[in-house]
Every structure is written in structure tokens, then in C-alpha cells.
Amino acid sequence: MLEYLKKNTLIATFLVIIILDQMLKVTLDIDKNYGLVLGILKGNLGICIFLTLFILIILIILLKNNKKKIRKIGFILIISGLISNLIDRLILGYVRDYIPFLNITSFNLADSAAIIGIIVLILNRNRIKWK
């Protein structure tokens, strides 16, 4: 199994983010987010789940049709973040956040992974050369 994950860094990255985020959520549960980013659509669980699934389908299609490894990493980071938060929404009805930010909001590892994935895709889209 370990040898398989070494060869398949995308799958390993995907699994590590989801497992670590879920473990942190169990131990550091600080805030409950009943909406999407910054509480958008608060109290609309069905819409939040639908939008997440819709975006996941699009991202998985883009991932499968993409050849560049750096873009695949960006997509995997976003997908793993969305899935980890989707697990919370499906089981608990909200997302557990545990990293406070400026006394305004809080976030979690899944959110961080998704944001980093978006940055990777944006930087790659603008053709910045990666070494």
C-alpha cells in the first residue's frame, strides 16, 4: 500500500488532507459553519450540498481531462477540501472549523487546501513558470 501511495502522489495527497482534516475537526472543533465560505447560504443545507456536488463533478471532469501535473495537484487540493467539508455537511449538517481568523470567521485544513489549490490553478493559468 505504501509503495502504491508513493507512486500515486495525487491519491496520497487526497487521502492525507481528508484524514488529517477530519482528525483535527474531532479534536479542535471550535466553530460550526452552517453555510459556505464566510457563512454564505447559512441555513440552506440542501443548496450547500447540491452546489458542492455540482462543483465536485465539474472539478473531477477537469482533473481527468488535464495532463499537467501541477494543475492536477491544484484540482486534487480543491477536491479533497470540498469532500472533507461535504462529509461534515452530510453527517452533522454543518462544517466544523477550528482555525480562528481575525475574530471575524474561522476555517479548517480543508478550506486551506481548497484555497491553495485555487491559487495553484490561477498561477498556472497565468503561465508562471514552475521550477
Instruction: Give CA separation, 106 vs 43, 60, 95, 110, in Å.
Output: 17, 27, 11, 12
Examine the residue annotation and report whether 21 is marked as an active-site residue of this protein. no
Residue among 29, 31, 88, 111 flagged as catalytic: 111
Query: Shortest CA distance to 75 belongs to which of 32, 2, 125?
Result: 125
- Can 97 be counted among the known catalytic residues? yes
Cell numbers representing residue 90 in the block: 452530510
d(CA 57, CA 79): 9
Active site residues: 97, 111
